């Protein structure tokens, strides 16, 4: 791809983390005309990006060299901290005035601490976790929840535009709060849809027809539409792995405990996902929670 060097909207973007989500996001950024340099801890995951005109960096710090923005899509808060912080971390290699956008799902306090480290280095910081899974990353339809300074958010909108719909929800850490709210709704709704389909099936109805009857009614949802179908077809190829869903429900529970907030439904669902992972299904899509409910009801998972 030929990038327009004279276009003021063209940015040099470093992408750290090119897994299930990061790779398609990097492709969309380069297709939008940005200069993209990518790095992944597992180098093999970056090789297919070369054909899209994406430069492959030798290290995480290399992605920061000359970058207007650095986008991070890594697996957890500790992994992000390990790569971003410290005297030889990515933040130390970013130019003053550049912007760090952490799109991983991490704890609220982790985001706030990273924001402080970035500010001390003269670097802008946004926490901008996403919802929509791999399909949303491929199609550019992600829901992007952004925390950070309003001025920094405005500067970073060239990054968000090719990826989906972005909303600035408040100061640093607020994006992660919004994502925890999102993941609470997603996890709890997956459990509810799975229970409803099992109830219909055990009661003698055709669960596929019951799902069809509910579409468009008050019980309809994206989870019923997409994950309900996955459950019926037993198609658990990971769009959002169950282990990452459990990571987020654990984070939400830890924050609720810190706030002395009792969330009984969420706590129960967190336990269900923990058991699903403990039984070896963590790499499956989070819609595979129905397998855990089958176990609890004396059935062998299909």
- Which residues belong to the active site? 179
Spatial separation of the C-alpha atoms in residues 153 and 139, rounded to whole Å:
22
Query: Residue 205 contacts by C-beta under 8 Å, 6 or more apart in sequence?
Result: none
Spatial separation of the C-alpha atoms in residues 115 and 55, rounded to whole Å:
27
Give backbone dihedrals phi and psi of 92, rounded to 5 degrees, phi first: -65, -20
For residue 255, count CB atoms less than 10 angstroms from its CB and return exposed for 0-12, middle for 13-18, buried for 19 or more: middle
Give backbone dihedrals phi and psi of 150, rounded to 5 degrees, phi first: -60, -40
Spatial separation of the C-alpha atoms in residues 124 and 133, rounded to whole Å:
26
Tell the residue number behind the tokens 């579409």, with chain if given. 215
Q: Which secondary structure element, helix H or strand E, spans residue 167, and what is its range? A: strand 164-170
Q: Which two tokens stand for residue 65?
A: 């060299």
Q: Tell how many helices (H) and how many strands (E) occur in the chain.
A: 15, 9
Tell the residue number behind the tokens 């995951």, with chain if given. 45
Spatial separation of the C-alpha atoms in residues 206 and 278, rounded to whole Å:
30
Q: Which two tokens stand for residue 149?
A: 């300074």
Give backbone dihedrals phi and psi of 23, rounded to 5 degrees, phi first: -65, -55
Residue 33 CB coordination number (10 Å): 17
Residue 258 CB coordination number (10 Å): 11
DSSP letter assigned to residue 292: H
């Amino acid at each position: 791809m030929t990038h327009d060097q004279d276009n003021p909207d063209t940015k040099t973007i470093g992408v750290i983390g090119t897994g299930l989500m990061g790779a398609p996001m990097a492709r969309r950024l380069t297709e939008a005309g940005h200069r993209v340099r990518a790095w992944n801890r597992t180098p093999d995951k970056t090789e297919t990006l070369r054909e899209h005109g994406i430069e492959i960096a030798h290290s995480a710090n290399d992605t920061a060299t000359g970058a207007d923005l650095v986008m991070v899509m890594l697996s957890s808060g500790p992994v992000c901290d390990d790569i971003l912080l410290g005297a030889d971390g990515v933040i130390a290699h970013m130019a003053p005035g550049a912007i760090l956008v952490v799109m991983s799902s991490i704890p609220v306090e982790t985001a706030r601490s990273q924001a402080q480290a970035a500010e001390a280095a003269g670097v802008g910081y946004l926490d901008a976790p996403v919802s929509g899974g791999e399909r949303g990353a491929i199609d550019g339809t992600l829901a992007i929840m952004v925390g950070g300074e309003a001025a920094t958010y405005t500067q970073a909108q060239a990054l968000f535009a090719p990826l989906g719909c972005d909303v600035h929800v408040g100061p640093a850490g607020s994006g992660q709060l919004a994502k925890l709210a999102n993941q609470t709704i997603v996890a709890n709704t997956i459990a509810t849809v799975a229970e409803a389909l099992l109830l219909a099936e055990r009661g003698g109805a055709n669960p596929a027809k019951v799902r069809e009857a509910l579409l468009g009614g008050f019980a309809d949802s994206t989870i019923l539409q997409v994950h309900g179908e996955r459950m019926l077809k037993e198609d658990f190829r990971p769009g959002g792995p169950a282990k990452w869903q459990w990571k987020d429900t654990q984070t939400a529970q830890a924050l609720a405990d810190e706030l002395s907030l009792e969330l009984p439904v969420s706590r129960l669902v967190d336990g269900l996902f923990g058991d699903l992972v403990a039984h070896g299904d963590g790499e499956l899509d989070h819609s595979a929670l129905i397998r855990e409910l089958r176990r609890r009801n004396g059935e062998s998972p299909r």
